[in-house]
Amino acid sequence: MKTKLTAIAALLLTVSACDVNKTQSGDLPDVDVDVSADAGELPEYEVNWADIDVGTTTETVSVPKVVIVTEEEEVEVPFIDINMPGDKYDDRQKVRKTIVVEAEVEERVYDLDIERVMAKGERLIVISSLTPSDKMLGDERVRVSDRLVLNAPDLDVRHFIIGDKPTGDWNNQYVFVGAESELSTYTDGSVEIYKR
């Protein structure tokens, strides 16, 4: 038995240690075929990601008032309830969490809005926009934010902000892009579950 194992190990070592080089190119044979057939029909698929309920809920949040002063205020924020298909998830696995996007800005006031939420597999893609206004801040730095409440299984969340990236380390936690078309790698094949 020991001799057989040694022989097999030696054979595997010899095969894995060899170097194969192509010495001549090959050609497939030429085939001339005359075929007639009825036109086929491509299959149709219906893709169901999840059952989504979108509404609003009341949350207490810090809202910037005059430049850097904030006050807590009750506001209506979007509420998304996701019921995943299949047996993998059930209502006991749902977690209620607030998805927040923030940016630290200076010189002028900006509007930051969550525009869309896309779902792809077990990932949520949050697409926000950062738009400058005409109102000036002066020398102050403030944080602007937007949020929505999600009731769903614990899903991976990726944030993207459309707009120019403001200076400062705070803004390094997000990916800034010039246009939503730059996100096609992430959004192709996704399902839109929220739109502002």
pLDDT at 18: 45
Amino acid of residue 142: V
Residues of the chain with pLDDT > 70, as a percent, come to 67
- State the first-to-last Cα distance of the chain, in angstroms, to the nearest integer: 71
* Residue 43 backbone dihedrals phi, psi, to 5 degrees: -70, 150
What is the average per-residue pLDDT within 109-131? 94
Tell me which of 146 and 37 has the higher pLDDT.
146
User: What are the beta bridge partners of residue 190?
Assistant: none
pLDDT at 34: 62
Residues of the chain with pLDDT > 90, as a percent, come to 37
In terms of pTM, does the model score above 0.85? no
Burial class for 192, CB neighbours closer than 10 Å (0-12, 13-18, 19+):
middle
- Comparing CA positions, the residue from 132, 125, 194 lying closest to residue 157 is 125
In whole angstroms, what separates CA 97 from the centre of its chain?
17
